[in-house]
Amino acid sequence: DLMNRESSFFETSTATSNATTSAKPHSQTQSASDISSPLIQDEGDNKVLKLRFDVSQYAPEEIVVKTVDNKLLVHAKHEEKSDTKSVYREYNREFLLPKGCNPELIKSSLSKDGVLTVDAPLPPQALTAGETMIPIAHN
């Protein structure tokens, strides 16, 4: 259900026949700063940030996963041209990684149905650092 909602919300692809069409690349930055987030799962004594991306409209060689500073970047691009049609799709996602997350420990896998899963082990300090209670004012 989460994948369907993400797919419909972040859809950035366009395909038409007999016309040249371009979809603007769409970028979205998200963060996993909430320990109760469904994106964070227990694996034994450790917690792992588990992200899933629907990249089913792209071939495996069109998909790139990398980190830049403290951001995880997922990028995919597909271009198809013939005499009668032109198709262009681009997928961009940015995810702000918790402080102390080691990029060398991040693993990704692509399922046969086109779901890219990225697992990032979280350091213990990322789960407890920076918690602040915010008082609620009652007027």
- Residue 132 covered by a domain: no
φ/ψ of 52, rounded to 5, equals -125, 140
pLDDT at 27 over 90: no
- Residue 22 covered by a domain: yes
Among 16-20, 27-31, 32-36, 54-58, top mean pLDDT goes to 54-58
- Residue 136 covered by a domain: no
pLDDT at 46 over 50: yes
- Residue 138 covered by a domain: no
Give the residue numbers spanning the domain of 119.
2-126
The answer to whether the CB of 98 falls within 8 A of the CB of 34 is no
CA-based Rg of the chain, rounded to a whole angstrom? 18
pLDDT at 82 over 90: yes
Q: How many domains does the chain have?
A: 1
The answer to whether the CB of 118 falls within 8 A of the CB of 106 is yes
- Residue 63 covered by a domain: yes
Q: Judging by beta carbons within 10 Å of its beta carbon (0-12, 13-18, 19+), is residue 59 exposed, middle or buried?
A: exposed
What is the pTM assigned to this prediction? 0.63
107 DSSP β-pair partners? 119
The answer to whether the CB of 115 falls within 8 A of the CB of 3 is yes
- Residue 16 covered by a domain: yes
For the residues 25-39, what does the mean pLDDT come to?
48
CATH number of the domain residue 53 falls in:
2.60.40.790
- Residue 49 covered by a domain: yes
